[in-house]
A and B are shown apart, each in its own frame.
Chain A
Amino acid sequence: MVESEDTAIEESGTESVQRDIKSLVRKISDNNWEIPKGHIPGMRVPGRLFVSENLLEGIEPGTIDQIANVATLPGIQKYSMAMPDAHLGYGFAIGGVAAFDAEEGIISPGGVGFDINCGVRLIRTNLQKEDVVPHIKRLTDELFNNVPAGVGSKSRFKASDKELDSAFLEGAKWAVDAGYGVEADVEHCEGNGYLEGADPAYVSAKARNRGKPQLGTLGSGNHFLEVQYVDEIYDWEMASTFGLEEGQVTVMVHCGSRGAGHQICTDHLKELSQAVKKYGIELPDKQLACAPAQSKEAQDYFKAMLCAANYAWANRQMITHWTRESFEKIFDRDAEDMGMSLLYDVAHNVAKLEEHNIDGRKKEVYVHRKGATRAFPAGHPEVPFAYRDVGQPVLIPGSMGTPSFILCGAKEAMDVSFGSACHGAGRVMSRAHAKKEFHGQSVKENLEAHGITVRATHPSVIAEEAPGVYKSSSEVVNVVHELGIARKVARVIPLGVAKG
């Protein structure tokens, strides 16, 4: 694995030689770089990139261009931003954060992405690492068999039209009402597991057809279901508020809105491409298609996007239920007895209407977070009551074999990043390259030698997602910690991973 990390560094190093990344940015302070307004014509505000000096070297010049492109969009507030895990995306860079005036601004599907509300949740247990390690192979198998995963995977449950509508409207709450979980689950989700304003009338028949058989599936690619243990606590007070202690076993679920969300984005992107011409919006990149926030086209997309966001919360909730069942079977104990409660659930790809303080005035803005996490601080009314004294949990998944992090939204987030933090490690190597570099079976054996059990539908998935293809997640979270937008609480290490 050490070899692969070296290769990853060489790769990004080669790219940075092609166009000197430092000549494109201006240092504001440690971990904070400006992309000046002149970077491309038409920028309304400067760009801001939150990275360490070391991580800056790995940023592709195209990512800088994408941050600058977003800065040209009407009604953008303060800065077009990108988090330390930034890399090339479509339209917006992955890791991109931008807020647009609710009246004068725009809404863009490119600022959310195809996998609407791809997100992460963390389930606590009262089990200790040593309780689980002897059973980890059987437990991982059970999770892999119980939670459908893989390309085109179908759910154990096929939603009726009525159930699909309820999932679109009520998200995790629908799933709990349908028997997939407990009341307390929804209280521990961002936005209580659903967003108001969703309207299935704006979801196409195609998106519905893709959505019905996939509700309750993990999907493929970087999505996973992982059994972990807490190996390090950085802040004892916050950890205790979050109900975390060293050695404790947790489960992380990383997935999104599946085909329903992908199709909703595809459909509305098409509509909005036409709207761009209608409203005479100049775009540096077609994938930034958008419309004035109050226009019919933008609002239609927004109502459909909220359906996909809610679907994703329902999806993660159903997976939570089957996770509890899997633990119950392997340990022959009730989930409640094993303390299997939800710590929190966060969205990584979503646009929301939020109130922020901008230049001393309270303002309604559409905050687009694409590969970024909301990170509201202590005292914010949207932080669940149980965490309001410390701040919102921010969940940052690693990759197989690398740690994930639990952070807590902090005060500076509201001033610096519209209440946002990073979302993961970010790739440094293409999937094709990864498949040449790594062999799925040997990556699996190597991980098993380190005590990590992996189950996947295909060995190539393991090669594509090998730990060496990602940036160091600890370096990424250190940046947001040092900036004071989210504080490190705990680190978790994988024990068993189920993947598409």
Chain B
Amino acid sequence: MPSQGKKYEYLEHTADIKFLAYGDTLEEVFENAALAMFNVIIDTGKVSGETAREVSLISPDMESLLVDWLSELLYLFEVDEIVFWKFQVKEIKEENGEYSIKALASGEEYYPESHPFETEIKAVTYNQLELEKTAEGWKAQVVVDI
């Protein structure tokens, strides 16, 4: 794993939350970005369970795919009331100039008594968005609006 084994780290941002996610593969960086995002909302270490949702998306470019992936998870959290903590990206591929993702997000149903939330995320933004292959693997920078 790149960056001394870190899955992700939070960076300083005055008004919102910015994080870097790492991964040996593109799939892994998408998984770790999702984990970083959910750890803003709740301590995912305190969540278990295996209620799962399949996610399948197509976007015009890879950066948009990352935004769409995270936005979809936020949507599922709010509407299906599942607190996610485990992400399995099965495949990301490019076809005919479009990028697609197939993934499984797992977590447990939300119970107000056992899930003390930290911070509400309003949306995933394109602001300062970066997704790049480095010498050590992949790195993504994301800013979420809170």
User: B143 contacts which chain A residues (CB < 8 A)?
Assistant: 90
What bracket does the count of chain A residues touching chain B fall in?
A: 35 or more
Contact of B117 among A113, A210, A270, A458 (CB under 8 A): A458
Establish whether residues A432 and B123, one from each chain, have CB atoms under 8 Å apart when the complex forms: no
Report the minimum CB–CB distance from B94 to chain A (whole Å).
17
Chain B residues lying within 8 Å of A90, measured Cβ to Cβ, are: 125-127, 143, 145
Interface mask (B112-146 → A, CB under 8 Å = 1, otherwise 0) = 00001111101111110100000000000001011
Report whether B117 and A430 are in contact in the complex, using a CB–CB cutoff of 8 Å.
no
- Is A441 interfacial (CB 8 A cutoff)? no
Is the pair B15, A427 in contact by a Cβ cutoff of 8 Å? Answer: yes
With a CB–CB cut-off of 8 A, which chain A residues contact B99?
none
Check A270 against B118 for contact (C-beta < 8 Å).
no
B91 lies within 8 A of chain A by Cβ: no
Q: Known: A87-B14, A209-B79. Contact between A152 and B117, CB under 8 A?
A: yes
Given A210-B75, A460-B118, A427 contacting B124 (CB threshold 8 A):
no
Contact partner of B126 among A209, A269, A461, CB < 8 A? Answer: A269
Q: Which residues of chain A are within 8 angstroms of B146 by Cβ–Cβ distance?
A: 221, 431
Interface membership of A433, Cβ < 8 A = yes
Question: What residues of chain B lie closer than 8 Å to A428, measured between beta carbons?
Answer: 14
Q: Are A430 and B12 in contact (CB under 8 A)?
A: yes
Which residues of chain A are near B71, meaning CB under 8 Å? Answer: 266
Q: Does B50 make an interface contact (CB < 8 A)? A: no
What chain B residues lie within 8 Å of A150 (beta carbons)? 117, 120
Q: Is the CB of A433 within 8 A of B12?
A: yes
Contacts of B103 in A (CB 8 A): none
Q: What is the total of A-B residue contacts with beta carbons within 8 Å?
A: 100
Query: What are the residues of chain A within 8 A of B123 when measuring CB–CB?
Result: 114, 262, 265-266
A151 sits at the interface (CB 8 A) = yes
Interface contact B110-A152, CB-CB below 8 Å: yes
B46 at the interface (CB under 8 A from A): no
**Complexed CA–CA distance, A152 and B38 (Å):** 13
Which residues of A60-90 have CB atoms within 8 Å of chain B's CB atoms?
60, 87-90
A273 close to B12 (CB less than 8 A): no
B119 contacts which of A115, A151, A210, A262 (Cβ < 8 Å)?
A: A151
The reply to whether A289 and B126 contact each other, CB–CB distance below 8 Å, is yes
Query: Which residues 9-50 of B have a CB within 8 angstroms of A?
Result: 10, 12-17, 41
In the docked arrangement, what's the CA distance between A270 and B119, Å?
A: 25
Q: Is A16 an interface residue (CB 8 A)?
A: no
Per-residue A-contact encoding for B51-95, CB less than 8 Å = 1, 0 else: 000000000100110011001000101110100000000000000
Instruction: List residues of chain B with CB within 8 A of the CB of A289.
Output: 126
> Are B12 and A270 neighbours in the complex by a CB distance under 8 Å?
no
**CB–CB A430/B13 < 8 A:** yes
Partner of B64 from the list A219, A273, A432, A464 (CB cut-off 8 Å) is: A273
Write the nearest CB–CB distance from B34 to chain A, whole angstroms: 16
Expressed in whole angstroms, the Cα–Cα distance for A460 and B118 within the complex equals 7
CA distance A429 to B64 in the complex (A): 29
Docked complex Cα distance between A500 and B145 (Å):
16
Q: Which of A150, A285, A430 gathers most chain B CB within 10 Å?
A: A430
Q: How far is the CA of A88 from the CA of B78 in the complex (A)?
A: 27
B120 CB contact (under 8 Å) in A91, A151, A286: A151
B75 touches A220 (CB 8 A): no
Most chain B beta-carbon contacts within 10 A, residue among A89, A151, A431, A433: A151
Given known A151-B119, A152-B117, A274-B60, contact A266–B41 (CB-CB < 8 A): no
26 examples of A-B residue contacts, CB within 8 angstroms: A87-B14, A87-B15, A90-B125, A94-B15, A114-B125, A115-B122, A150-B120, A151-B117, A151-B120, A152-B110, A152-B117, A210-B79, A219-B120, A221-B122, A221-B146, A262-B122, A270-B64, A270-B68, A273-B60, A273-B126, A285-B127, A287-B127, A430-B14, A432-B17, A460-B118, A461-B119
The 10 closest A-B pairs by CB, nearest first: A151-B117, A220-B120, A90-B127, A151-B120, A114-B123, A286-B126, A262-B122, A287-B126, A287-B127, A209-B79
